[in-house]
Structure 1
C-alpha cells in the first residue's frame, strides 16, 4: 500500500496544475481580402481557433473572457471595421 501511495503522489506531482480561465466562443467572419490580416491578429492573440474557407472566411474562436473586448477592438482596427464578430 505504501508503494502505491508513493506512486500516486509522484504521479500527481508530475502532472502539475492547470489553471482554467473562463472562455467565450466568438465567430468572426470576413472577406478573403482581410482573412490574412484577421488570422494574423488571432494568432498573435494566442487563442484557440478553427478556420472555414467557404464563400467567406469564418473563424470560430475560444477566447478568455478577460480578453474578448481587446481582441474585438484589434480585429476592428486591423480591418477598418470590415470584420463581422458574433457572440
Structure 2
C-alpha cells in the first residue's frame, strides 16, 4: 500500500476542520480517510511552527494528485466540478 502524502494546504484545511469542532475527531478522521493521530500531529505541528509547518510541499499540483483532490472535496474546500 502506498503511503499517503498531502500538501501543506490540505493539512491546514484538515486542522481547521478539526479545530472548528463541528464533528467528533473520530468522525472527521473517517470522513477524510486520515488517521486520527495524524490529525493531532498536524495540529501540533501547525501550532508549534506556524507558517513554517509542513515545509517542502508547496509546488505539488492538486489536479495531478487524485487522492488530494478527493480529500479537498471532502473538506468542502473545493466544490465538485460538474
Question: TM > 0.5 between the two?
Answer: no
Rg larger in structure:
1
Greater percentage in helix: 2
Bucket of the pairwise TM-score, normalised by the shorter protein: 0.3 to 0.5
TM-score w.r.t. the length of structure 2 is 0.34
TM-score w.r.t. the length of structure 1 is 0.33
Greater percentage in strand: 1
